[in-house]
Copies of this chain bind each other. A is one copy, B any other.
Amino acid sequence: MPTLPGVHLKDEIAKISNRLMELGRGRQPDKASWEKVELARHPKRPYTLDYIEHMFPGFIELKGDRLFADDPAIVGGLAAYQGRTIMVIGHQKGRDLPSRTYRNFGMPKPEGYRKAQRLMRLADKFHIPVLTLVDTPGAFPGVAAEERGQGSAIATSLMCMAKLQVPTVAVIIGEGGSGGALALALADRVMMLENSIYSVITPEACAAILWRDSSEAQQAATSLKLTSADLEELEVVDEVLPEPRGGAHKDYAGAARILKEALEDSLRELETVSPLQRKKERFEKYRRMGVWREEGLTLF
């Protein structure tokens, strides 16, 4: 059966059946997806420093990439935790206008990702597990950020997390926006809070590109499968953490407790294997990411 270029009977049948399916599905956007988008972006949703405050009283923030700047859109530092140490790194949004500006709306520049890498290497040196909290609309799109290598900063952040010998746990706590979120989320365990989202592109931008109409964002949110339930089904996240009734923004302490328990469970599990084995399993996991077909298999 020839490969290129391909119009085959089997494909045609599949295509028609897809078209039929399409008529039945999704013409009404799934309100539930958009609700999650709104909850994930809720202005009162707990941010990284809120979780740190409730989870790790002795937190010591460490700043700077030792290269260019300290980026307040990513925070990180050491925390004492059950008689041991953990490195906590996360995106940080602001809550009022001055702090939002200061935190650049949680959109990191290259120096943010490079700070994260520096702290992860420090953790690795001293066998300190790494917890990342993910909550960003995406990496900052600006001229100077591009000039300082935004793409490279994200790539090296991914590479840094791929290399780590220590256990790594990532939790999407709010908006998991594109490469800027993934840069802190290549981990042994990736979890999502129930009302968080994780997406390759914002629904608004997706709608603007594909529908040429950003008011189709709700439709795009449904199509993108960005809710925690979607991502669990796609096996991109290992676990979805239920939030306190009404959402994390109604009970910071409760949300932090849930997160802390999940962290403890994860670490307990991850620390039963050797660093080498852990790294191997990490690679196997990411190697499996994706869905493809080989010729001879039908479309579904």
The A interface, classified by DSSP as helix, strand, loop or mixed, is loop
Since A66-B149, A67-B110, A68-B68 are in contact, a sample of 9 more A-B pairs with Cβ atoms closer than 8 Å, ordered by chain A residue number, is: A66-B152, A66-B156, A67-B67, A67-B68, A67-B114, A67-B148, A67-B149, A68-B148, A68-B149
Stoichiometry, as copies per complex, reads 2
User: Taking CB as reference atom, which chain B residue is nearest A66?
Assistant: B152
Contact with B along A52-66 (1 / 0, CB 8 A): 000000000000001
CA of A152 to CA of B110, assembled, Å:
18
CA of A149 to CA of B67, assembled, Å:
6
Interface residues on A, range: under 10
Interface residues of A, Cβ cutoff 8 Å to B: 66-68, 110, 114, 148-149, 152, 156
CA of A156 to CA of B67, assembled, Å:
11
CA of A148 to CA of B65, assembled, Å:
10
User: Taking CB as reference atom, which chain B residue is nearest A153?
Assistant: B67
Instruction: Point out the residues of chain B lying under 8 angstroms from A114, CB to CB.
Output: 67
CA of A53 to CA of B156, assembled, Å:
34
Instruction: Point out the residues of chain B lying under 8 angstroms from A152, CB to CB.
Output: 66
* A-B contact list, 12 entries, CB within 8 Å: A66-B149, A66-B152, A66-B156, A67-B67, A67-B68, A67-B110, A67-B114, A67-B148, A67-B149, A68-B68, A68-B148, A68-B149
Instruction: Point out the residues of chain B lying under 8 angstroms from A68, CB to CB.
Output: 67-68, 148-149
Q: Closest CB-CB distance, A151 to chain B, in whole Å?
A: 11
